[in-house]
Amino acid sequence: MVALIFTMGSGNYWLEIFNSYVGSLPLLIIAFFEIIAVVYIYGINKFSDDIEFMTGRRPNIFWQATWRVFSPLMLLVVFLAYVFVQAKTEPTYNAWNPDFVHFPLADVQPYPHWVFSICVLLSALPCVSIPLVALYTFSLFIKKKIMARRNYNLSNFTSGTLAL
């Protein structure tokens, strides 16, 4: 259904919006949080153990320093630079305009103001799914723990002992 928007007369402009905003900022955000999750939540030692198990060699200090410091720092710098540049520039598109003074060249036009909200939505939508799935998985984990505790307490109660 969404692909039908690209078949309309303005499809090229929609393609330019999707191309500019869906694949840049969300990938930076996802990569940053992925490396933070692997290094600081899962643990660099467990990750190094996994790599040693798969390859037979433990990653040296260069790779560990890269994963711990340099990669997150560089992703953060690129993210901040991207946000700074995008905040300073107005979204524009190249329009085919036969009335343009330099006609064979494309006429650079600003997008309407409502397009900015679509750009923000296209950038945020891929990133929102990650915390939503994490919260859903965490809620299932908590529910499973609560049910296990209730079943344990019920089994102790039915056997004649009182579980506190």
Within-domain flag for 4 = no
pLDDT at 84: 92
51 domain-assigned: yes
* Residue-range definition of the domain harbouring residue 68: 14-130
Is residue 113 one of the residues assigned to a domain? yes
Q: Residue 156's pLDDT is what? A: 58
The tokens for 6 are 């690209």
Task: Please report the pLDDT score of residue 111 as a whole number.
Answer: 85
Q: How many domains does the chain have?
A: 1
Per-residue pLDDT of the chain (164 residues; tens, 9 = 90+): 778 888 887 787 888 888 888 888 888 989 998 999 999 999 999 999 999 999 999 999 999 999 999 999 999 999 999 989 988 888 887 777 777 777 777 778 888 888 888 888 888 888 888 889 889 999 999 999 888 887 776 665 555 555 55
**Residue 56, by phi and psi: left (phi above 0), alpha (psi -120 to 50) or beta?**
left
Tell whether 95 is covered by a domain. yes
The reply to whether 3 falls in a domain is no
**Within a domain: residue 109?**
yes
